Structure 1
Amino acid sequence: MRFAPVVLALPAMAAAQQQVPLLEQAKGWLNNFIGAATSNVNSASSAAASAASGVPNPAYAAAGKVQQLTVTDLTKENYLQVMKPGAATASPGIEDWMVYTTGGNRTCFGMCNRADEEWIKAVPLLSAVPSAPQLARLDCEKEPQLCNAWGAGAPSVIYIQLPQPLPDQTTPATTVYFLPLNRTTVSAQDFVSIATEKAFFKERTPYEGFFHPFDGILAKTGLAIPFGWVVYGFSVMPSWALMIGISFFSRTFMSKRMGPQGGAAARPAAPAGRTQ
């Protein structure tokens, strides 16, 4: 009879042992709930900050159903047809173009690989940017004449703002920025920043010189592509052939300057007369 209290306490002890796993499970459920809530808050904050800055979140840009922008390959034959302002009857405005220039072993010394990879990553991000510029790509290895005509190096970005013609058919000046890229540190975010941060251009002066793609002397006279061919010809000419040409020209020039001169100085002296 003395064991009766102990026997009666056994069910309560068993119930207490069964409640321990349930408590641990409840703690695990609570932790999972807190973690999920924190993750949602962080995601919402990241999305809000991204929307406020105008820079798309890469995760949302990749997950969202955004139609990717078309990247047009520029050539010396099609650039005038591709990059032209809208009709004069269209609504006034400016059409932005973002041209990425790249190259190969001869024009970029094989150091454009990183920039090429980051450009590919940047295209879907740029597609998610509201009012994104038109995208184009210029390969200086395949189109050296056009790169020479524009004085463009690789890797770089040529940001062009094409104004639409005025009602009187006159076209305002085209704004062009030549933006070199760091070959070792360039990232996809750099391309996005160029398209989204308008303050990016405030510290830079638009190019208005000899190689301006639309308003320069070469472009106005129609000599841009011929000039590009001339520069390309010199670049592929062997060094020995160039030295021979310079030597031949210098010898011809010097022989004309050092030739016999006319007048009394050129005539031989007359023999002395005989004395009586």
Structure 2
Amino acid sequence: MRPSSALVLAFAASTLAQDQIPLVDKVKGWFAQATAAVTSAVPAAASSPVASGRAKVAETIQHPLTLENWKETLTVDPSASTPTTQEWLVYITGGNATCFGFCGNATKAWNASLPFLAAKPNAPKFAVIDCDAEPLLCNSWSVGPPSLYYFQIPKPLADQSAPAATVRYQPLNRTSTTVDTFKKLVLDNDFEKVEPYEGYFHPFNGELQQYGLALPLAYVMWGFSKMPSWLPMILISFMSRTFM
């Protein structure tokens, strides 16, 4: 394939990727952003003590993940004897930029469910990624909010060898996710029914991570996401006329 053709396909793929979000959601998202802008000058009502308490609990028992710290955070307790496996449950959220303002319901349910999940015998550790704040990390994993990543990370043996980490990815519904959704996945072990992910974007063992391509590709995807939706089509049209 000629370089020009490959570039055209790249632009087309980025355009299609942007169009995976339904038009209705986009319109609602734009309306939500406009409403937020109008009401930002009005003092917000005090949040309920229950909601504030749940948010505080969430802050104390979950680890914020960033592009710089996720590899050091998603590990096994060094004091644990081998062989052992550490479970991590990572909640992926976002704001207006990556979730069009529709992650609030799922995030409230996640915060409310954490005390129940943490009370489970041999409970997993918890972490959170805000894709608005960490777009490169989300792009390098090829994940979007709201969703959950369930990691089972084995501790390396004395010779530093270890089985591959098992990961399961579960997208969440923006409007219908409740506390029971998380209870069923974690407490009722419904996560075990989810097929483990073994593709190119596997955070630990995927080919993109192994060959150092995940972050460069994340930059490319991030750059495409910043383009106006009409720009790729204009470039494709211009390049098609140039090379025809």
Q: Name 1:83's counterpart in structure 2.
A: 74
Distance apart, 1:145 and its partner CA: 1.2
Q: Which residue, 229, 232, 241 being the options, matches 1:239?
A: 229
2:177 aligned with 1:186, yes or no? yes
2:63 aligned with 1:72, yes or no? yes
2:220 aligned with 1:230, yes or no? yes
**Cα 1:136–1:67 shift into 2, 3 Å:** closer
Which is further off, 180-189 or 215-224? Answer: 180-189
Q: Name 2:197's counterpart in structure 1.
A: 207
Q: Is the Cα–Cα contact under 8 Å of residues 131 and 137 in structure 2 kept in the other structure?
A: yes
Structure-2 separation of matches of 1:118 and 1:86: 28
Q: Which residue, 166, 170, 182 being the options, matches 2:161?
A: 170
Aligned residue type for 2:149: I
Distance apart, 1:93 and its partner CA: 0.9
Distance apart, 1:107 and its partner CA: 1.3
Structure 1 gap segments, 5+ residues each: 1-61, 255-276
Structure-1 separation of matches of 2:197 and 2:154: 16
Q: Name 1:158's counterpart in structure 2.
A: 149
Q: Which residue, 93, 103, 107 being the options, matches 1:102?
A: 93
Aligned residue type for 1:101: I
Q: Is the Cα–Cα contact under 8 Å of residues 108 and 155 in structure 1 kept in the other structure?
A: yes
Distance apart, 1:169 and its partner CA: 1.0
Greater RCO, CA 8 A, separation 6+: 2
Distance apart, 1:116 and its partner CA: 1.0
Distance apart, 1:156 and its partner CA: 1.0
Aligned residue type for 2:155: Q
**Cα 1:185–1:89 shift into 2, 3 Å:** closer
Aligned residue type for 1:131: N
Structure-1 separation of matches of 2:183 and 2:192: 17
Q: Is the Cα–Cα contact under 8 Å of residues 88 and 167 in structure 1 kept in the other structure?
A: no
2:216 aligned with 1:219, yes or no? no
Structure 2 gap segments, 5+ residues each: 1-52
Q: Is the Cα–Cα contact under 8 Å of residues 165 and 204 in structure 2 kept in the other structure?
A: yes
Distance apart, 1:222 and its partner CA: 1.7
Distance apart, 1:207 and its partner CA: 0.4
Structure-2 separation of matches of 1:87 and 1:103: 31
5 Å-filtered alignment, 1:90-129, equals: 90-129=81-120
- Give me the TM-score of the superposition, normalised by structure 1: 0.62
- RMSD of aligned residue pairs (Cα, Å): 2.5
Aligned residue type for 1:191: F
Structure-2 separation of matches of 1:228 and 1:237: 15
**Cα 1:83–1:67 shift into 2, 3 Å:** closer
Q: Is the Cα–Cα contact under 8 Å of residues 149 and 211 in structure 1 kept in the other structure?
A: yes
Structure-1 separation of matches of 2:106 and 2:93: 8
Structure-2 separation of matches of 1:128 and 1:86: 19
- Give me the TM-score of the superposition, normalised by structure 2: 0.70
Kindly, what percent of the aligned residue pairs are identical? 47
**Cα 1:245–1:172 shift into 2, 3 Å:** same
**Cα 1:184–1:238 shift into 2, 3 Å:** closer
Distance apart, 1:119 and its partner CA: 1.2
Distance apart, 1:74 and its partner CA: 0.8
1:201-259 CA-to-partner distances (Å, cap 9, x unmatched) read 343210001111111111111221221111010010123443343244334433xxxxx
5 Å-filtered alignment, 1:57-68, equals: none
